[in-house]
Every structure is written in structure tokens, then in C-alpha cells.
Structure 1
Amino acid sequence: MLITMKRYVYINDDETSHDLYCDNRISNRKYTLLNFLPKNLWEQFSRFMNQYFLLIACLQLWPLITPVNPASTWGPLIFIFAVSATKEAWDDYNRYLSDMKANEKEVWVVRQGIRKHVQAQDIHVGNIVWIRENDEVPCDLVLLGTSDPQGVCYIETAALDGETDLKTRVIPSACMGIEYELLHKIKGVIECHSPDKDIRRFDANLRLFPPFLDNDLCPLTITNTILQSCYLRNTEWACGVAVYTGNETKLGMSRGIPEPKLTAVDAMIDKLTGAIFIFQIVVVIVLGIAGNVWKDTEARKQWYVHYPMEGPWFELLVIPLRFELLCSIMIPISIKVSLDLVKSLYAKFIDWDNKMIDQETGTPSHATNTAISEDLGQVEYILTDKTGTLTENKMIFRRCCINGVFYGNESGDALKDAELIDAVSNDSADVVRFLTVMAICNTVIPVKSKSGDILYKAQSQDEDALVRAAVQLHMVFVNRNANILEIKFNASTIQYEVLETLEFTSDRKRMSVVVKNCQNGRILLLSKGADEAIIPYACAGQQTRAFLEAVEQYTQLGLRTLCLAWRELKEDEYREWSLLLKEASSTLVDREWRIAEVCQRLEHDLEILGVTAIEDRLQDGVPETIETLRKAGINFWMLTGDKQNTAIQIALSCNFISPEPKGQLLSIDGRTEDEVHRSLERVLLTMRITMSEPKDMAFVVDGWALEIALKYYRKAFTELAILSRTAICCRVTPSQKAQLVELLKSCDYRTLAIGDGGNDVRMIQQADIGVGISGREGLQAARAADYSIGKFRFLKRLILVHGRYSYNRTAFLSQYSFYKSLLICFIQILCLWNQSFQFCQLDGL
């Protein structure tokens, strides 16, 4: 989708942007003092039950028809509304206090060329803001300068995305070399998109005014920004210009109250309430007619009944309305408060469960959503991520294949393979190049501890495993100083200058770096990625059969594979390509697509160096948990971005699917519509035929075929989803995960989605119940979920213990409430037979 709205931010201009954009006042409040009462009452009276109770309460104000003191209804009604309103007011007051604390925090801002202390809420778009080490970033900033001579700073984004590893940010190239004393005098303009909530993307252009730079356009990306609520670490100071402020920051745009989820029990209660209301109306009409008939035929004859001969025009309504009040207790007014209270208690039971505490990390289970505990006892489909959810996400380098030679096959550990160790000692050219790519084709940050040891901060567990494995093979990544990387191998030190970093995307499925060897001046392209994203781009004449065999062998063992490659670039070729990259990086329309197209022009004719195999072990208790839940009648789908063979092996090892002959795994594949259609029809026919057989049937599909199936053959795929208890979906994107959840929900299945990373958030939010694992990929999934747990095995207790108890208790409470109310009401109705359909009330009930 093209974004046409633009924002022009004039740097260090105290007047231009003040009226155009909001200030930096944060407001997460739902109400104000003026609108609290009407808005809260409107929200409460939007529910049918509250409307019904208000109608009954209003009718009881009419003395002619009410059998009881109106306080008997108005009292509980006002109490219920007051409790709900008080809870909303308290929550909103706490949000107000939190906002006030953030808004009144003092920060350094440049005003009229002078740095001043101001409150954070007084920051405006275009202001230059200074922050110091360990300070929280008050708004979204584009970096202009840092204390590091190379313009680098380190930030912690845990409050933004849950990831605790430090990330590198760098000032734009246009700001390189500007003296500290001149930073507060910078003038220029930033052209960027209107505010959005994508924390991983920022497409903009910077133009500085003379004398700093003569109108040269400089592209900006997310690496040139530090976003609100991040913390500056390991950097003395940094300064930047405010581009988004207040509720228009990326974090502010991401905030919001999620839509409430309606549980199956709540939906049933709503239907039951509607049915009882209809029944009540029928009873009232029948009794009202009978009462009016008796009044006209018999009552006027009785000497003790003082009915006037002629009554008012509304006389016919009096008796039916009396019966309406008499029968109003069919729908118990206490059920809503009772259910809210017990549901809160169910959530506390989950929080207090010591058997669901991860002893390794001390992470307890937590119920964020207190309203849907009983749905845990009605789950029909569980859709689960693989890496970090079923597995530990502790990556261990196990095997590798370098130029057709396999290492680690005999011992199961390539790092202890004598042949590989000898090759490293002898400076084998193939092995050295392979280890070089392992060590520097990444975004890892080496940090020296006080003891002198090197610690690695990696955003990816795979990259961390590769760098640590390279260290054990004497290729040590020592330092990253801006664009200069320092490598120590055996007794020599090598420095590389990073010219460009081509970041990993889910479409390209690879990442590359362009580096220049500082010793000999050679320019190299280093790449790593999935086999289908690397091997097809091998140079003509290179034999790739051994690498394909290595990938197949490693995936059969359930190992994660990456292919490594490189290519030497001519200086003219690089210079011409870099101009194209700069042009693509400067556009604000479809920048990501254009950059990917330019990257494709460089990432070809690669020399494949080898294949790495990384082990990601299953978590403890995963097979037993899946087996138990399957016996409980729950179906499982695995949604992963990993390779098909790796996913299948993990599925077999954790009892996700059954091996032959007990089970059968059917494959949906193809690259065209016709191929996918034929494959889908074949699998569907097999499923229909074998439905009566006691055989575990499952299907596997990759992301490409899935996209075609969902787009063109959705009806057939939906039928297959209904027939199959188990599915493995590989190479799927976050949006495809969410689509599959929506597909199962459209079939009226109660779904639970569980994951541990940011790529699982959409799936978790889409499902009826979202469960997040507090894992190594951060806390994004846990924060977005209804429930968070420390390990996958706790899912068994969450569903079979807490879910079952919550459902049984809620069902009993609901049934008892309606039973009690209906019983009392029917007793009063039966009394009417003895009272000749005259209005009566049983006192004390």
C-alpha cells in the first residue's frame, strides 16, 4: 500500500512546526473529568442485560404497578454500575499518574540556540533533544550526533519490543564530522511519512542547510533513529531531532486497548438471556390477557375489589406491566457481577500456581486477560510456533560442510572434529573463508567485560551460535568500531571496513554485507541464508550437489541449516551498484521493494562456501504435553518459518505426527496455481477416503503453496482444515499465521495460538486465546498474549487443570443463577392459579 501523506520536519526551528504537529504530551487516558460519566454509562448501557435491568428499574418507579420498593432494584443496579465505573476510574487514574510522571520528566532541549532544561511534554517536532547514558528517550528522534567519534550509539529496546540485547544506531552520513560545539546550530529539513506504528521501519530523507552541507540528500532508515521508551546504553551522550512526538510516536501509535474477547460461555449466556427474555414476554402477554379478562368478567362483581367502572387509557397495560415486574427475576441481576468476580479469581489461581513457575528462569505464569479463563477448557485447535516454543531456542553449532567436506558427522560435534581443527591450524583457504563469513556476516556487537572477556550481543540466536563457533575455531570477532570490524585468526589481526549491510527480510531470506579488506583493498560480498535463497545464485560451473546433500542430511536430523557464500567485487561494479542503492534508499515510495531489487543485482554468481547445521533442542516435556492434549481431543497445527524437512523431524520427535504405518503425512506443494490445485485435490481425496480408518492423517504445506491455496482455493483448503487433525505449515510469514487462525475461527472452532517471538504477535492476537512464552526472542509475544507461561509444558496444566476447573465452575454458577431465578419466578406464576390471575408477590423470596 502506497503511503502518500508526508511530514516535513524543520530542524531547530522553534516556530514552524509548533502549530502543525502535536507537542510531546503523552495521554493514555480513556476518559476526562467531563466525559467520564456519560461515556462510561454509554459503554455500560450498550449491553443488553444492563438495558433490561434499567427498564425494570424505571418501571418500578411507577407506584401503580410496582409490587416492591424500587430500592430493591435500583440499589443493586447502582451498585453494579458503581463497581464497574470505579474500576474504570481507578485504571484511568493510574494511567493518568503514569502519563504525568513521563510528561513532567526534565530533558535537555535546544531553544533559540541554547540548551535548556524543559519538561518532556514541552518538546515539539523539530526540537533538538540531548540525552545522556541510561536516560530514557522521550520521543522519536533522528540521530544527529553521539559521543562516539564514529557516530555510533547503543540502545536497549526492551520496553519497545521486549528484546534485551543492545542494538546499534548510527548518525546519518550527512552528519558525520560535525563538531560537538556546532550540533546545536544545525539547520535542515527531514522529509518522512506521517506517523505509523511500524517499529522496524523508517523511510525518510535528510537535507542539511549550508554551511553544514550544501543541500545534499541523505537517506534515513530505522538505524538512524532512537525511538521513544528506549534507553541509551554504553554511550556518554547522543542528540537528535524530534520527528514524532506525544501519541504520534511509533510506540504511541501502537498503544491502545485491545478489543474484548467474547468467550463461548458468555456467548451462550447472551443467547440464553435473549431466549428467556422472549419466553418472559410470552408469559407476560398470556398472564396479562388472562388478568384483564378476569378483571372485566369477574373482578368487578366482587365486593372487595374496588375497580372503577371507567379507567384511564393505559389501564390495559397495568396488569401486563405488573406481571413483567413479577417475572423480571427470570434474568438474575447478580449474574454479571458474580461472573466478573469469579473470573478474576480464576486468573489469580493461574498467577498463584507454583507448579507453573519456570524454575530455570523464575518466570511465573500470568493471566493478563481475566475474562476468558473458561475458554481454556474448550480449546479445539492449538496453533503453535516451533523455534523457542517447542524448542529451547538455544542454538548449538553441531555440524558443517565446507567445500564438499563433511565435519562432525562421526562425533556429532564439528568443533571437536580433528580434521576440521587440523584444517584451521594449517590455514586452509576454504576453511578460513568459511569462518570469516561466520564471524562477520551479521549484526553482532562484541562488548568487552571488565575482566577482559568478549561478550557478544546478538539479535539472532543463530548469529550468536555462528560467531561463538567461529571463536572456538580461532576466528575471533574482536571489535566493531563504527564501520571497522577487527578479526583475530590464529596469530594475525585482520580489519574489514563495512561498506554496506543488506539486511535480512522474510522475502529475500538472506542477509549480506559488503566489506573491504583494509590490508589488500579487496571488496567482498559475504552472504548467508536459506538454501533456496543462496544455492540457486551459485556461479556458473560450481558443483552444488554436495551442498544440497548436506542440507538434506542435516534437515533429516532436525538441524537448522544456513548456506554461506561470497563473491569478490570489482571496484567499478561496486561503485556503480552503490549509486543505485543510494537512489533506491532515497525514495519514500516502495523503498523496501526497490532496495530488494537493487540487492538482487549484486547477490548473484556467488561462490558457495558451505553449509552450517545448528541444533535447537526440544524443551523438556514437549512430547508428553502434546500427546496428552491430543488424547484430550485437541488438534495441533505447527506454523513455522523453518524448512520443511526440519519441521517434519521436529514434529516426529515431539509426537506431533505419527510415523508410518500408524500415521501418514501428505504434502501440498507446487509453484503455480495448477500444481497447487492438483496437489490440494489429491490430498483432499486421500483425506476423505481414509476418514474411517484408525490412522493419524496430517498434511504439510509451505508458504508459497499456502499463499496460492488461500487466495484461489480457499474453500477446498477450508474443507481440508476441517478434515485434518494435524498440519505442518513451513516457511510461513507472520501474516499467513494470522490468516490460518482466522480460517479455523471462521469454521467455529475455538482456537489457541502460542508463540514466543515478535513474529507470533499477530497470530496470538487473532486467536480466541493467545498464549505467549517468555523466551529468548523477547517479551513481545508474552505482552500481546492473554496468558504468559515460562515453558510449553505448562500449557497442559493451563488447559486441563485451570481451563477445565474454570469452565466447570462458570457453567455451574451460570446454571445455578438461572435455575434459582426461574424457580422462584415459576413458584409465583403457579400462585396465580390460586389468585385467579391477580397480581401477587411472594414475600421473602
Structure 2
Amino acid sequence: MSARIKEMVRVATARLGGEQVGAGGVSSSGIARRESTARLGGGGTSLRRQPQPMAPSVRTVCCNDREANAPVGYKGNSVSTTKYSILTFLPKGLFEQFRRVANLYFLMISILSTTPISPVHPVTNVVPLSLVLLVSLIKEAFEDWKRFQNDMSINNAHVDVLQGQCWESTPWKRLQVGDIVRIKQDGYFPADLLFLSSTNPDGICYIETANLDGETNLKIRKALEKTWDYVIPEKASEFKGEVQCEQPNNSLYTFTGNLIMDKQTIPLSPNQLLLRGCSLRNTEYIVGVVIFTGHETKVMMNSMNVPSKRSTLEKKLDKLILALFATLFTMCVIGAIGSGIFINEKYFYLGLRGHVEDQFNPKNRFVVTILTMFTLITLYSTIIPISLYVSIEMIKFIQCTQFINNDLHMYHAESNTPALARTSNLNEELGQVEYIFSDKTGTLTRNLMEFFKCSIGGEMYGTGITEIEKGGAERAGIRIDDDEGKRSANAVHEKGFNFDDARIMRGAWRNEPNPEACKEFFRCLAICHTVLPEGEETPEKISYQAASPDEAALVSAAKNFGFFFYRRTPTTVMVRESHVERMGSIQDVPYEILNVLEFNSTRKRQSVVCRFTNGRLVLYCKGADNVVYERLADGNHDMKKISREHLEQFGSAGLRTLCLAYRDLSREQYESWNEKFVQAKSSLRDRDKKLDEVAELIEKDLILVGCTAIEDKLQEGVPTCIETLSAAGIKIWVLTGDKMETAINIAYDMQHVAW
């Protein structure tokens, strides 16, 4: 069943577009929704709460109380991705068929053949057209039936729903808004859920969003500390909160809302939302509340109606048939005019004397011309073969079922995934591709980030040579000996860290000209992140779970530089610092995390405000160089210039760069700013915009401490693949958010552009 669910989710998410699915499928689920209410009843003891009248932009959900949610009439969780229904199949299917010029032409011929002017029996045209339409409709019905079966598989998949004080297995389609559900490891989320609790410590869980955005690295979601205890059914049955959140929308990466419980309002963010289609990983189970169901879930709001796809070949066939019809019409017009001119009673053998039909009456030549033209159109109709489309349809169908689906060259053995053609309409388009748009990270590259070089206080560290630098040297005719690639005894190579420079390893940074900058640089790496540690609290056995491999690489670098992050609580990070007070000293230092200003594509930076044990308040910030440089304090121009040069060198080597900075805060500054931050975080309207505006107030007058350079190597075979595609005349566009220098040099390395 899990495989079927995964397959169905992929079907639903393959059509991301932005149009909402039509309401046809929703209305049909209304009966099922009412029946499920009658059979399942409310979860737990009902408080008989009624949702308060809210503004149209706010959705109010009473958790664990079906009776309170019933008057609102939220949509059910049954989904439909089919193109047709029983009522719409015939009219919509015929409309699709008569969009084809040939079918429309033969319909006209069939109508003409039923008139007295037709020289042929109607059966000769009506029967072939009916067979053509029948075969095409059967093919459409078969493909839509497969979609319907996938819908049934997903709608009838089971999930644990809280009933009283125990979990009951219930089909997905019977879920209702406000239900409390339990999702087990490797299970898929049946609806958009508010994350309440997890079997993992600190209320976290790991999810995979590959079916939504193609990202294979695990994402971290964290429940509110207030709801961590609702893990077992006895405790979960006591949960009686109210969620006020945004209305259903198709934005996968945003969510604003508030949880009201125990007369306390707690802001909600995307970190507490588990989207339908994602799967649970590395977590025994989680407990959540259904917020959006069925076609109101974000993934389904992104799904378009099944489009009617027409290939280039089919469009060209339409043009060809129009040309043939123009030729046919010309022949008929010439023949009809000739008949009107040359018909005469003197041709006695034609029997035109006396009473004759209008079509052959020499006394009314205009009528003869018109009627003869229609007769000739019917007679010459075979110039356009009626079997043309049927032959093409059958060829495409056989291509899909017997060739594409069984092609061993398109089989991926590692995941046991064969090629699967979901529709046969566009087979020939595969051979007519002119442009390929490809993401870089994780597609052309391995998405295995390694800390490779850095610049601290205007001094560059790291002696390694990247593959792109080697390729550039070879293109320039410079030979790099193997001796130059040998690593020193201080070199360390582990997951996320591939660094070689004895000047700052094992506490040697204390002897550098800028030890204070080194210390702030390492602390920024160890503190400014959202990484979660797993395993034993030792440098050798600990592992890091991060939202992106870049963050894990930076924390791993801090560990190897002597600032070992090993524990996180809701308000504190623990860092084991080595060689800070004196050479060889080791001490565990708690840093209180007061605020986290998270990274997003607009801000292009991440910041944390933390309090040291001595009461010092510091804001650490890391982000794109252009964003951080705009927010630096005046002065220290030499270091800024040198760091900028280092960034350009890192970019030329194909490395991903980030700038690190910090700012000391006074107590008055922080308290004044924090009041505005709390207000913005609790806002239901434009929360993200308000948070960004508040962040701008504190992320200024920063002091630059350095920049990092991370390597992400190319996948094996990428240059050969791109070279082959280019030889086939296919134009390739690579989409990346990297710096221009990095993108250009990676393009050279993968032979996307010639040197």
C-alpha cells in the first residue's frame, strides 16, 4: 500500500501549476463526508464549542471536536485527479475528439451522406467515424480508469485517528478537519497537519519532501513546546486547542496562524505544518491535527485539472488535413462549375428531357452547381483517410505499454523504478526537445557539501585545489603534479569537512594575527544555525540533521576547529570549546538562544540573537555576500576589500560562499527590538513581511569576521551527458542561485560552455 500511496502522490504532484482543481470532484465527496461524520463521531469528549465568526481571511479549526467544526462545512479528504466523471465523460470526450480537424471533417461528411444528394449510403461514412470515435474514447476511458484506481488507492489508505482514548485505523477519505491523527515512520501525511508531538526528543521530526519539490535531503519540523506531551492517546484526547490560520492557498513554503490553548495565543509557522504528500523519516511516529483536507491541501491546490495535451505531430496533422481539404474543395468547386456549365438537354443519353431532379435540371444551372459540389465532396471524401488518427493512436498506445514501460535502458535498478508513461499523447515530443532547463544543486552536482576554504579577518585559509581549478589549469596548459595535491598531516576529511591548513587546526588559530576574529568566526559557525545533533555527544559519533547540507557542513567545520556543538534545547545550544582560555583547555559553554531570524529566499541570510554566560548579547549573522556587505558598519575598509577579493577567488574556484558577521547589543537595544519582534511573530496578516521589517531594524552595523567556501562536486558523467545532449542539438540552460563567477566556472567544468 505504501508504494501505491507514493505512486499516487507523484501523479498528483507532477502537475504543479497554480490553478485550483475544479470543484467537480469535491461535490461528489459531500455524501461520503456526511456518512463519515455519522459513522466515526467526534474524537474525544466534545466541548460543544462553536467557531467564532472571523474575518473571511481567517480559518478557525476546533481541534479534536467534530461537532464544533460541523456547521462550518469543511471539505472532505477524498481527492479526485480524473479527467472525466460518469456524467461528463461522453460530452467532454466527444468535445475532445471533435477538436481534431479530421473528426470534424468526417462528421460533416457523415451528415451530408444522410441527405438525398449523397451518392453513397450513410453507412459507409457513419460506421467508420463511429469506430474511430469508439476506439479513441475507449483509450481515454482506460487512461482515466487508471487515474481513478490510483485515486481509490490513496483515498482508501488507512491512518490512525484518535477516537476517545485509542487509535482507530480509518481510511484517508473519512478524515475531517480537526481530527487528531498518528503517522508512523515512512508513512505519508494524509492531509495538511499541525504538528503536535513526536517520539523524538525536543518535539522534532524529519520529513522527506521529494514528492513536492524534488529535494531528497531530510527537512526538520519542530512542534511547539506547549504540545510536546500529547504523544500517547490518553494524553492526546485531552488536547482542546483552537487554530486560527490563513485560508487554504497554494503556497508550499508559507503558513501563518495562531494556536489558542489555555487562554494563551502561540504563533504558528511553516515549521509546525506537515504537508500532504510528504513522508515521515527517522521518527517512530508523530501526532498531528488535520488543518486542511482534500482539495484544500496545498499540494492539491497546486494541481491543475488534467490537461488535454496535443502533440506537435497532431497539430501538424491538422494543418495537413486542412491543406488536403482545401485541395478537395478546389476539385469539387471546379467539378461543380463544370457540371453547371456543360449540362444540357442536347445530351439525350443523360435523360434530361422532361421532369428531372433539381440536381440535374439544365434550366437551373446555379442549383445544379451547388448540389453537385456537395455530392462531389461526399464522393471525394476518401482523399482524407479516416483511419489516420486511429492508426496513430494505436501506435502511441503500443509504444507506451510495450516499449517505454519495458525499456531496460530507462530502468533505475537502485530504486527499482521502471519508466512509466502516464499518457500516450506526447510520445513523439520526446524526440523533439529543443531546450532543457536543469537545476544545478543536487541535479548536476552531488549535493554533498564540504567545507573547503575560508577567509577570517582578511586572511585566507585552506590549501586544497578544487576540480574546477584543476580543469582551469589544464585548459590553460598548466600541469598540476600529484605532489601538489598531497595533504598535510593536519588535513581532515570527513562528511561535510574537507580542509587542509595547519595554521588554524588544533588550536593553532591562537597564534594567528587575528585570534579574536577567529574565535567569533568559529562561534558564529557553531551557534548561527538550526541544526539538530543526533547520537552520542562525542565528536566521533555525533551526526547532524540539517535543513540543508550547507548548514551541516558549517557546523561540522566548527566541530573540527574546536567549537563542538553537541546539544540543543528549545532555548539553549551547548558548545564544547577547545583552546579558548589557553592551549589545551576544554569547556562546555551554554549559549541562550533568544531569537532566530530564519533564512528565506528574500532575506538571503540567517541570524540568531544569543546571550553568553557573562550576560553579553550578540547577534550572529551569515548570508550572501551582497546582502551582508550592505549591512556592515562603516570603517575597516581594508578588510572588506581583501575579503571581497577572497570571495571572487572562491567563486572562480566553483565554491559556494557565505559571509559571517556579528554585532554586540545592549540590553536596552535588545528589549526594545524584541517587543516589536513578538508582535510581528503573533500577527496573522502579513506575518512574513512584518518579521522581515523587524529583522531589518537589528541586522545592521554588523562587523565582518570572514567568509566560508563550500565545495559541491559534480555528479559522475555530467560532462559526458551534457556533451551528448549538445551534440544532439539540444540547448541546455542551468538554473542556479550561485554567484556569477561560481556558475561560470562550474559551466566550464561540466563542458556546458566552451573555454
Deviation of 1:223 after TM superposition, in Å, equals 0.8
Instruction: Give the secondary-structure state (helix, strand or coil) at the position aligned to 1:499.
Output: strand
Distance 2:202 2:713 in 1: 40
**Inter-partner Cα distance in structure 2 for 1:442 and 1:415:** 21
Structure 1 residues 179 and 35 mapped into 2: Cα distance closer, same or farther (>3 Å)?
closer
CA 485–340 in structure 1, closer or farther in 2 if over 3 Å, else same: farther
Residues 817-828 of structure 1: matches in 2 within 5 Å? none
- The residue number in structure 2 matching 1:398 is 452
2:356 maps to 1:309: yes
Question: Unmatched 5+ residue regions in structure 1?
Answer: 660-845
Alignment of structure 1 residues 516-595 onto 2, 5 Å: 516-517=611-612, 519-520=613-614, 522-542=616-636, 543-595=639-691
Q: Name the CA shift for 1:467/1:61 in 2 (closer, same or farther; >3 Å).
A: farther
Give CA deviations for 1:339-364 in whole Å, capped at 9, x if unaligned: 33444566676666666778998887
Question: Residue 478 of structure 1 corresponds to which residue in structure 2?
Answer: 566
**TM-score, length basis structure 2:** 0.76
2:215 aligned partner: 163
CA separation of 1:132/1:536 partners in 2, compared to 1, >3 Å: closer, same or farther? same
1:687 aligns with: none
> Partner residue of 2:61?
9
In structure 1, which of residues 323, 333, 343 is the aligned counterpart of residue 386 of structure 2?
Answer: 333
Q: Distance in 1 between matches of 2:132 and 2:706?
A: 68
Structure 2 unaligned residues grouped into runs of 5+:
1-17, 19-54, 362-366, 467-486, 488-497, 579-585
Equivalent position to 2:601, from 506, 524, 527:
506
Quote the residue 1:286 is aligned against.
334
* Aligned counterparts of 2:542 and 2:227: Cα–Cα separation in 1: 30
Match of 1:79 among 118, 127, 131: 131
Cα distance in structure 2, aligned partners of 1:390 and 1:567: 37
Measure, in 2, the Cα distance between the counterparts of 1:468 and 1:369.
46
**Matched residue, 1:119:** 171
| 2:272 paired residue number | 224
Q: Indicate the SS of the match to 1:56.
A: helix
2:644 aligned partner, one-letter code: L
**C-alpha separation between the residues in 1 aligned to 2:318 and 2:651?**
50
For residue 58 of structure 1, the aligned residue among 105, 108, 111 is 111
Check 1:393–1:157 CA distance in 2 against 1; reply closer, same or farther (3 A cut). Answer: closer
**Identity percentage over the alignment?**
37
> Matched residue of 1:641: which SS?
coil
CA distance in 2, matches of 1:196, 1:504: 22
For residue 237 of structure 2, give the secondary structure of its aligned residue in structure 1: helix
Q: In structure 2, what is the Cα distance between the partners aligned to 1:433 and 1:45? A: 71
1:457 aligns with 2:504: no
Contact persistence 1:144–1:183 (CA under 8 A)? no
Measured in 1, the distance between the counterparts of 2:275 and 2:661 equals 34
Question: What do the CA deviations read for 1:750-771 (whole angstroms, capped 9, x no partner)?
Answer: xxxxxxxxxxxxxxxxxxxxxx
Query: Contact conserved, 1:415 with 1:472, CA < 8 A, in 2?
Result: no
**In structure 2, C-alpha distance between the alignment counterparts of 1:450 and 1:39, rounded to whole Å:** 63
Q: Check conservation: 1:18, 1:125, Cα contact below 8 A.
A: no
- Provide the rounded CA distance (Å) in 2 between the counterparts of 1:116 and 1:359: 37
Question: 1:698 maps to what in 2?
Answer: none
* CA offsets 1:142-199 (integer angstroms, 9 cap, x no match): 1334445633333333333333433322233554667964542333432222211222
1:650 alignment partner, one of 746, 749, 754: 746
Deviations 1:791-816 (A, max 9, x none): xxxxxxxxxxxxxxxxxxxxxxxxxx
Write the deviation string for residues 50-72 of structure 1: whole angstroms up to 9, x where unpaired.
Answer: 211222233334465143x5444
How far did residue 548 of structure 1 move? Answer: 1.0
Q: Which one of 123, 136, 146 corresponds to residue 94 of structure 1? A: 146
The residue that corresponds to 2:502 in the other structure is 418
Of 355-364 and 287-296, deviating more is 355-364
- Preserved CA contact (<8 Å) 1:530 1:561: yes
Structure 1 pair 182/5, CA: closer, same or farther in 2 (3 Å)? same
Instruction: Determine if the alignment matches structure 1 residue 641 to structure 2 residue 694.
Output: no
Q: Is the 8 A contact 1:439 1:475 kept in 2?
A: yes
8 Å CA contact retained: 2:191, 2:276: yes
Query: Cα deviations across residues 455-493 of structure 1 (Å, max 9, x unaligned)?
Result: 433332322333344444454443445554444455544
Q: Alignment partner for residue 240 of structure 2, among 180, 187, 191? A: 187
1:33 is the counterpart of 2:80: no
Alignment correspondent of 2:95: 42
Task: Name the residue aligned to 2:287.
Answer: 239
Matches within 5 A, 1:436-447: 436-447=523-534
Q: Per-residue CA shift, 1:260-315, capped at 9, x if unaligned?
A: 5554444333222223223322222221232344445466x216789942548987
Q: How many residues align structurally?
A: 650
TM-score (norm 1): 0.68
The answer to whether the Cα contact below 8 Å between 1:10 and 1:126 also exists between their aligned partners in 2 is yes
Deviations 1:548-576 (A, max 9, x none): 12112212222221112223434443333
Quote how far apart the aligned CAs of 1:326 are: 2.3
Determine the C-alpha separation between the residues in 1 that align with 2:652 and 2:354: 92
Q: Answer yes or no: is the 8 Å Cα contact 1:423–1:431 preserved in 2.
A: no
SS at match of 2:663: strand
Q: Please tell me whether residue 152 in structure 1 is matched to residue 204 in structure 2.
A: yes
Alignment-derived partner of residue 682 in structure 1: none
Which residue matches 1:680? none
Residue matched to 1:269: 317
- Tell me how far apart the structure 1 counterparts of residues 688 and 382 of structure 2 sit (CA, whole Å): 62
Structure 2: distance between partners of 1:359 and 1:98? 24
Equivalent in the alignment of 1:448? 535
Alignment of 1:607-622 (within 5 A): 607-620=703-716, 622=718
**C-alpha separation between the residues in 2 aligned to 1:368 and 1:103?**
20
Alignment deviations for residues 594-636 of structure 1 (CA, whole Å, 9 cap, x no partner): 1111111222222222111122334455556656665666555
1:643 Cα deviation from its structure 2 partner: 0.9
CA contact (8 A) 1:151 1:482 kept: no
Provide the C-alpha distance between the structure 2 equivalents of 1:233 and 1:545, rounded to a whole number of angstroms. Answer: 45
Are the counterparts in 2 of residues 14 and 111 from structure 1 also a CA contact under 8 Å? no
Give the deviation of 1:390 after TM superposition: 4.3
CA distance in 2, matches of 1:102, 1:657: 45
- Shift in Å, 1:245: 1.0
CA distance in 2, matches of 1:426, 1:171: 40
Supply the AA of the counterpart residue of 2:503. Answer: E
Report the RMSD for the aligned CA atoms in angstroms.
3.8
Amino acid at match of 1:140: D
**1: distance between equivalents of 2:429 and 2:155?**
39
Partners of 2:725 and 2:168 in 1: how far apart? 61
Contact 2:509 2:518 in 1 (8 A): no
Shift of 1:397: 2.4
Q: What displacement does 1:403 show?
A: 1.5
Shift of 1:249: 1.0
Deviation at 1:372, TM superposition (A): 4.2
The amino acid of 2:691's aligned partner reads I
1:187/1:357 CA distance change after superposition, 3 Å:
closer
- 8 A Cα contact 2:231 2:286, kept in partner: no
8 Å CA contact retained: 2:574, 2:588: yes
